[in-house]
Amino acid sequence: MSNKEAEIYDKIPKSLIVHQGSIGIYLKKLEKDVRKIMEPETASNLKINKKNKLKDFVSVASSLKVSHIWSISMNKVGNPNLKIVNLPNGPTIYTKIMNYTLAKDVVSNLKKNVNNTSLFKSPALLIMNNLSKTQSTNPHLALIRVFFQNIFSAINVNTLDVSAVRRCVLLNYNDADDLLSIRHYAIKLLPVGVSKGVKTIVRKRVLNLSNQNDISDILLNGGEGLSESEAELDLDSEVIVNTTTKDKSVNHKKSVRLYEIGPRLDLKLYRIESGVCSGTVLYHAFKEIDDKLNSKIVKTVSTKKQTDNIRKERRLLQEKNVKRKRDEILSSDKCTRKVRKLQKQLGIYKNVKE
């Protein structure tokens, strides 16, 4: 990897999905599912020790070029929480997991299995809904919008290869319930204006001709009895894909179809702090944020810093006093006479200036 490629790779957002304390088997499965969302820029097989705390992951994040940490925990009552930290300087958002569905439960309802390992070789595309419209009434949502934009890799629309985008993550804000919903989809591109029979042949699948007299029966009757999922999509779902043939590059229209692969998350945002799990409270769902509260929090943080600074100053002053005392003793007459006596005993007497 060249230096330029290394610099580009270091700028790509990377996330660690971890948990704190005892969270149960289902939340551990949810943790693995969230790691699937953040593939491939995450540690898929990260093993967490019971003694590990969030500060342990924060301390090693800089060396691993990690930009965000997702921490799943459970409070004393047994309700699950999700904390997302932006490194190295914050902010930190605190959410309650109101509802969640594991990926295996979502995929079990699909008619076709689309959970292919090749889907997770490229990062997911982030789609946000209803976050910009409510900024006037809820200013903190502007911070949430920018926060999640920095979690996922940025794209350039002009140079984006549509066929390379295999997954997308939908972040939707429900104003009525005040919930952030996260949904995970697989993207499939299908040719437009082609019957079901032709699609079957084009996909190079092994055809079952035992019930057919001729291959033309598939082409002529392939479009009958289509289910909703197999029907042609609206024109709004069509995109132009650039495909290269032997002779030249050709643009083709293809329809976009989404298959939900999970997990599902419904989050209730209740606090935002400016630092890494500390600092000024920028938003609180249950308390009115005023200058008094923020000044109290800032004072608490600054007091800790002042204590550390006072200790350093005392240590430096003590070392300075010890050095000064040693110099005074060495420069005194009594010390000079002792030095002369010792030098005479050793036979190396020299004149010592008083």
239 and 328 housed in the same domain: no
Residue 205 located in a structural domain = no
Residue 225 located in a structural domain = no
One-letter amino acid for residue 349 of the chain: Y
Q: What is the DSSP letter of 22?
A: -
267 and 303 housed in the same domain: no
Give the Å distances, CA to CA, from 339 to 194, 211, 218, 295, 344.
105, 115, 112, 60, 9
263 and 315 housed in the same domain: no
Predicted model pTM: 0.71
Distance CA 47, CA 68 (A): 17
Least confident of 158-162, 231-235, 282-286: 231-235
Residue 99 located in a structural domain = yes
Least confident of 32-36, 125-129, 194-198, 296-300: 296-300
Report strand pairing: 281-284 vs 179-191: unpaired
Q: How do residues 106-125 score in pLDDT, each as one tens digit?
A: 998 887 777 677 889 999 99
Number of Cβ within a 10 Å radius of residue 162 = 13
Residue 222 located in a structural domain = no
Least confident of 10-24, 103-117, 244-258, 291-305: 291-305
Mean pLDDT confidence for 301-313:
71
17 and 137 housed in the same domain: yes
Q: Which of 113-122, 187-196, 288-297 has the highest mean pLDDT?
A: 113-122
Please report the beta strands in the chain, taking only residues with DSSP state E, as ranges in sequence order: 15-19, 68-74, 80-86, 92-101, 125-129, 167-174, 179-191, 238-244, 249-260, 264-273, 281-284
Residue 329 located in a structural domain = yes
Q: How do residues 241-282 score in pLDDT, each as one tens digit?
A: 655 544 445 567 778 889 999 899 999 999 999 999 988 888
Least confident of 197-206, 218-227, 319-328: 218-227
* Domain end call among 289, 315, 333: 289
Residue 124 located in a structural domain = yes
Mean pLDDT confidence for 298-318:
72
Q: How do residues 55-85 score in pLDDT, each as one tens digit?
A: 999 999 988 899 999 999 999 898 999 999 9
298 and 175 housed in the same domain: no
337 and 274 housed in the same domain: no
Least confident of 83-92, 165-174, 235-244: 235-244
The structure tokens listed for 204 are: 């190079």
* Domain end call among 270, 289, 308: 289
Please state, rounded to an integer, the average pLDDT across all residues of the chain: 80
188 and 328 housed in the same domain: no
Q: Can you give the C-alpha Rg of the chain in angstroms?
A: 32
Give the pLDDT of residue 205.
Answer: 54
- For 167, the 3-state DSSP assignment is strand
End-to-end Cα, the chain, rounded Å: 67
Asked if the model's pLDDT at residue 353 lies above 60, the reply is: no
100 and 123 housed in the same domain: yes
Residue 204 located in a structural domain = no
Asked if the model's pLDDT at residue 176 lies above 80, the reply is: yes
Structural domain span for residue 341:
294-346
Domain tally for the chain? 2
127 and 270 housed in the same domain: yes
Residue 352 located in a structural domain = no
Encode 173-195 in three state secondary structure: EECCCCEEEEEEEEEEEEECCCC
Q: How do residues 217-247 score in pLDDT, each as one tens digit?
A: 666 665 443 344 444 444 455 666 655 544 4
168 and 78 housed in the same domain: yes
Give the pLDDT of residue 254.
Answer: 79
Distance CA 169, CA 36 (A): 11
Q: 291-331 and 333-346 helices cross at what angle (nearest 10)?
A: 50
256 and 308 housed in the same domain: no
29 and 174 housed in the same domain: yes
Number of Cβ within a 10 Å radius of residue 5 = 9
Distance CA 119, CA 39 (A): 9
